[in-house]
Amino acid sequence: MFLIVGLGNPEKKYETTFHNLGFLAVGEAAAKAGAKFKKKECEASVAEANLGGEKVVFARPVTYMNASGRAVKQLLAKYKCDLAHLLVIYDDYDLPKGKIRIRQSGSAGTHNGMRSILAEVGSGEFARIRIGIRDEEVNIPIIHYVLANIRKEDYSLFADACSAAADAALEFVKSGDIVQVMTRFNPVHEGK
């Protein structure tokens, strides 16, 4: 059983903001797996699929970003999923825009949603896919930047990044090996 969580904010006004790239990427992963977000449980919108005999739950917490950990903790308990099969996808200001970076564990960095998850689950020992959002040409405080709408000229760049993140998430489910996924996907995005 795998739990793939994309971080974001539930209101329509946040749909095209940087902070919702996790929602977009997990939505694409679910669509590629043939799953639809039809129900709400554990303070999240969820979609379920079966990939190669493995149950996969795709989730978008509806707690708002800074309380994402509540939903993740509840989902882990409900589905009896261990941290080795949890993958979180989220935007990251510490990476250049459009770049993705996959890690098997780590800290929360500057991301409040990840801080919430680490606090609630009591560990950083789970896989994550970070989608870079930093734009060297923009100089506004991070708190305002993450809630800004993605510029139209950058849509295709972020669409490609979300698609790559979705593919990496599905590869994690198929292989069960995040190191293998890192080896395959990280080098492709090093030069972006």
Domain count, the chain: 1
Q: pLDDT tens digit string along 72-110?
A: 999 999 999 999 999 999 999 999 999 999 999 999 988
32 confidence band (pLDDT: 50, 70, 90): very high
Task: Assess contact for 33 and 58: CB atoms under 8 A.
Answer: yes
**For residue 62, what is the DSSP state?**
S
* pTM summary value: 0.96
* CATH code where residue 15 lies: 3.40.50.1470
* Distances in whole angstroms, Cα of residue 63 to Cα of each of 5, 31, 37, 38, 81: 13, 22, 16, 17, 20
Residues 40/43/46/48 CA torsion (nearest 10 deg)? -100
136 confidence band (pLDDT: 50, 70, 90): confident
Q: What is the pLDDT of residue 13?
A: 95
CA angle 47, 101, 191 (to 5 degrees): 130
192 confidence band (pLDDT: 50, 70, 90): very low
Residue 62, amino acid:
V
- Going by C-alpha positions, the residue among 166, 83, 106 that lies closest to residue 131 is 166
Out of 19, 85, 111, 189, the active site residue is: 19
Q: What is the pLDDT of residue 62?
A: 97
Task: Assess contact for 7 and 90: CB atoms under 8 A.
Answer: yes
**pLDDT over 90 percentage in the chain:** 89
Is residue 85 part of the annotated active site? The answer reads no
Continuous segment of H or E residues that includes residue 188: helix 178-189
Range of the domain at 100: 2-189
